[in-house]
Amino acid sequence: MSELRDENRAEELRNKTVDQLVADGTITSARVEAALRKVPRHIAVPEVPVEKAYSVYEPVVTKQDEHGVHTSSVSAPQIQAMQLEQADIQPGDRVLEIGTNGPNAAYIAELAGPTGQVTTVDIDPAPADRAQRFLDATGYTGVRVLVGDAEYGVPDRAPFDAILVTAGAWDIPPAWIAQLNEGGRLVVPLRVNSLTRTYRFVREGDHLVSTSAHVCGFVPMQGDGAHRQETLLLRGNEEIALRFDEALPVEPSLLNGVLITPRAEVWTGVTVGRTELIGGLQLYLATMLPGFCTMAVDPDLDTGVVKPNNPAFSMAAVDGPNFAYLLVRRTPDDKNVEYGIHAFGPDRDKLAEQIRDLLRTWAKQHRGGPGPRLTVHPADTPDDRIPGDRIFNKKHSRISISWPTA
């Protein structure tokens, strides 16, 4: 009787979660809705209360390293539903999931149906074992669970109609394109200059073209696809850390003593609502501002020389011996916030004006627009074959960014 009550409670929570995802627009198709209503995801994480298993927006962390960094998790239903909608999995599709823990593979199996083929792979045997136990317990025995470095795909199960990546990637390895059918979909949390979005790409010949993007957060890739950010300590200690996703400045020593120069303060006139989503603005600066980085201030070492709104994360930029970061202040009516810049260095005014002009361009030409279009080309593709406003060169690929006007 107790087990029946527990299962009834789990079903009630599961339906409540799906109801919320339908109401907020994350779930837009009846097939994804049905899959999330059916799969008993709580069975994958018996170590946590059933309420936590069905938390709409919070993942369940299943493994951490010795420093407390999350290395594996069961993603939140909201993230999984978002990616499933992007993947548009049809009955009979051959699908590869990269990064596993069980429930998402079961959702994919529901969508692909009995004529489909689902493979899920993880570099770590622990989540793969957890996934296998969950799939066996819930009857999804047709899903093949593998242990391996998915940087190289799964060639003996290819080609795929869809590949879903559930770990944060910095690059697109050649295997993910080569093992995808023409017109196939790659859904991947891709990091471009420190900011991650889950993109839906479609294969067109030897390259990929993005068709949608959503803000997200994932544990990073491990194995040969791992990529560490570079950190520059601005005052020579841990007080102010600048993190660069692509590479450190060519001559970081030029910044020695930059914070003892006078500070320029420039306000842009660009305002946003206090609850307005600013993911597009962040991505615009990250992809269009040379020297973009992020700044974190250690609260235990903070001397007040910089005054960010959020010590843990601020958008910033470096240009030779100059440094600047963004901040906001409330407007007089208290309904909006205005963006401003603090800049240091011998050419601080010029750098502040450059950032101001970019913010104004975003507000005038791109705010409320469709967002950027990304294309992913092989690393040896010449410039004249790559459209876009800016190109990011990765190890295996060249990623171009185009910003259409709103």
Q: Which residues are catalytic?
A: 75
112 and 92 in contact (C-beta within 8 Å)?
yes
CA distance 243 to 343: 17
Measured CA to CA in angstroms, residue 366 lies from 78, 108, 235, 283 at distances of 27, 35, 36, 11
209 and 201 in contact (C-beta within 8 Å)?
yes
CA distance 283 to 59: 24
Helix (H) or strand (E) holding 107: helix 103-112
348 and 324 in contact (C-beta within 8 Å)?
yes
Bridge partners (DSSP) of residue 41 are none
Measured CA to CA in angstroms, residue 316 lies from 51, 161, 170, 217 at distances of 39, 39, 20, 20
104 and 47 in contact (C-beta within 8 Å)?
no
What do you get for the CA distance between the two ends of the chain, in Å?
Answer: 58
